[in-house]
């Protein structure tokens, strides 16, 4: 049998075909546009996701016996607001996870409703990327469109709806909406009342590995798939990546170096960071996880390489980096504001420490190190909770860089395990589909049988000590710049 994982990313959808043994048969990627209608805004058209996913499914399965396709599932960009009218038509472009327009709504939720109440209702506080503040923004700024809302969905769930006709979501993705009671794995009545939405406007909730239905007859016919293909609910991209890297069970860690960057810690038990610097979400394996999320990770390097240096030769630029742990240039990787642990939509990317002898390679190195230092910020919060992480898996586009992996291992001073496949969310989606179809009895069994560690980068004591000193400097830069970021933001509004 074959199982398909669909990773609905910010710049492209990646589709992966997996056999019943966990082997990857094919991978296809299809891009779509990203729109920035105003500074700090980020939108996409859900129809683009579906059309490109359908094209990708056709290409992915063009050379196989399609009668052997058993199931489809997803990993998807989280938090995006997709709103449908009574005819299930998209009302407006989706407002994405990295959109910062909701700073007023977040201030209202965190300071007037109160962080303690939010944490009690949902286990989290308001961040500009979350879905609930976007609904309040629509209510205030687009009241006529807000009044037309019949269904509120997340990006990957729109794909599931188009494939099955079912309005559904899963517990991991719903956790990032600020409408979901994470501890009890159900919608929060209190948050719905605060946001002025009804429970009927929300999708049905499933565990990530549960089937939500089968393909619609017309979809199956267009694709040439059996009508019996099951569609599993899937997971938010980070939870799906955790499944794809085997980060399930208790105490395991995964770092994702995608457009955003995350430190993901799986846990069998529910828990909340008292300062809400880390997100407390439901996990795709049926348990829970803590997660620190930075809004710009590999995207910082992409911006530096393609937009500033005007090159796509990423590895060539890194070849000139010779000495680690001694760079005098620092970079704050807050190009889209920052979430964990600062929760500051006004934060911006910042180079500091340049001098007349600063080289191009020093700046490139600072970008890679800045992302690693920011990931460590989240790891430090986990340590403050008594969680000791000695090793982590790693995935995402940035994980293809041996240099970046070495920097991360030494900045965080932990072992970094490299797995056989770097296809995190897409592989995780295929694994969830296989569980839904009964190929494996649960997610943990699937991870044990499929995920294989092929290399480990060990921290070097001398280099880790150098980076320890550099990190102590890095963590002082943001507090000193915070008031300047605020001034810049006010002057731009």
Report, as residue numbers or ranges, the catalytic residues. 237
Instruction: Categorise residue 231: left if φ over 0, alpha if ψ from -120 to 50, beta otherwise.
Output: beta
| Helical (H) or strand (E) element with 419 | strand 415-419
Burial class (CB in 10 A: 0-12, 13-18, 19+), 360: exposed
The answer for residues whose C-beta is within 8 angstroms of residue 324's C-beta and 6 or more apart is 365, 406, 407, 410, 463, 466, 467
Output the 3-class SS for 203-250.
CEEECCCCEEEECCHHHHHHHCCCCCCEEECCEEHHHHHHHHCCCCCC
Report the alpha-carbon distance of residue 149 to residue 3 in Å, rounded: 34
Binding site for substrate, by residue number, is 78-79
- The DSSP bridge partners found for residue 110 are none
Residue 217's CB is within 10 A of a number of other CB atoms, namely 10
Q: Which residues are registered as beta bridge partners of 73?
A: 5
Q: Which residues are annotated as a binding site?
A: 78-79
Rounded to the nearest 5°, which phi and psi values hold at 450? -105, -40
Contact, 286 vs 443, CB < 8 A?
yes
Query: For residue 337, how far is the Cα from the chain centroid?
Result: 15
Helix axis angle for 443-450 and 237-244, nearest 10°, is 50
How far is residue 56 from each of residues 4, 130, 241, 421, measured CA to CA in Å? 11, 28, 20, 20
Question: Would you give the end-to-end CA distance of the chain in angstroms?
Answer: 55
Collect all residues with Cβ–Cβ distance below 8 Å to 29 and sequence separation of at least 6: 12, 13, 14, 15, 56
Q: What six digits make up the tokens of 220? A: 């199956």
Q: State the DSSP H helix or E strand holding residue 404, giving kind and residue range, or none if neither.
A: helix 402-412
């Amino acid at each position: 049998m074959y199982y398909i994982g669909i990773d609905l990313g910010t710049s492209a959808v990646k589709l992966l075909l997996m056999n019943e043994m966990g082997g990857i048969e094919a991978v296809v990627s299809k891009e779509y546009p990203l729109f920035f209608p105003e500074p700090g805004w980020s939108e996409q058209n859900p129809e683009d996701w579906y059309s490109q996913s359908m094209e990708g499914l056709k290409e992915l399965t063009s050379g196989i016996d399609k009668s052997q396709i058993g199931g489809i599932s997803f990993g998807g960009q989280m938090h995006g607001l997709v709103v449908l009218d009574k005819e299930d038509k998209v009302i407006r472009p989706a407002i994405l996870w990295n959109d910062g327009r909701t700073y007023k709504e977040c201030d209202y939720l965190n300071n007037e409703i109160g962080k303690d109440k939010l944490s009690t209702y949902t286990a989290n506080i308001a961040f500009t990327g979350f879905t609930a503040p976007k609904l309040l923004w629509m209510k205030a700024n687009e009241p006529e469109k807000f009044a037309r809302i019949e269904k509120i969905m997340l990006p990957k769930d729109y794909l599931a709806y188009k494939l099955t006709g079912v309005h559904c979501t899963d517990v991991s993705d719903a956790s990032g909406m600020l409408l979901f009671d994470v501890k009890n794995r159900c919608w929060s009545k209190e948050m719905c009342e605060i946001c002025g939405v009804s429970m009927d406007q929300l999708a049905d909730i499933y565990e990530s590995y549960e089937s939500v239905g089968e393909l619609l007859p017309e979809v199956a016919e267009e694709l040439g798939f059996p009508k019996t293909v099951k569609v599993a609910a899937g997971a938010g991209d980070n939870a799906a990546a955790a499944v794809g890297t085997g980060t399930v069970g208790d105490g395991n860690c995964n770092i994702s170096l995608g457009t955003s960057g995350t430190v993901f810690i799986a846990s069998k038990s529910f828990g909340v960071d008292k300062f809400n610097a880390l997100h407390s979400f439901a996990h795709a394996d049926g348990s829970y996880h803590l997660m620190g999320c930075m809004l710009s990770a590999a995207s910082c390097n992409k911006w530096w390489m393609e937009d500033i240096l005007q090159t796509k030769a990423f590895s060539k630029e890194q070849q000139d980096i010779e000495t680690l742990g001694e760079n005098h240039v620092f970079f704050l990787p807050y190009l889209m504001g920052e979430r964990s642990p600062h929760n500051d939509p006004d934060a911006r990317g910042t180079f500091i420490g340049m001098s007349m002898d600063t080289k191009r390679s020093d700046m490139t190195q600072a970008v890679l190190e800045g992302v690693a230092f920011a990931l460590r910020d989240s790891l430090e919060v986990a340590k403050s909770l008594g969680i000791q992480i000695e090793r982590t898996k790693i995935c995402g586009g940035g994980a293809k860089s041996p240099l970046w992996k070495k920097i991360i291992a030494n900045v965080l001073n932990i072992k970094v395990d490299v797995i056989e496949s770097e296809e995190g969310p897409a592989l995780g989606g295929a694994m969830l589909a296989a569980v839904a179809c009964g190929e494996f009895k649960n997610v943990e069994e699937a991870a044990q049988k499929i995920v294989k560690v092929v290399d480990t980068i060990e921290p070097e004591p001398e280099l880790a000590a150098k980076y320890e000193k550099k990190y102590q400097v890095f963590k002082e830069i943001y507090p000193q710049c915070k008031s300047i970021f605020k001034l810049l933001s006010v002057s731009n509004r």
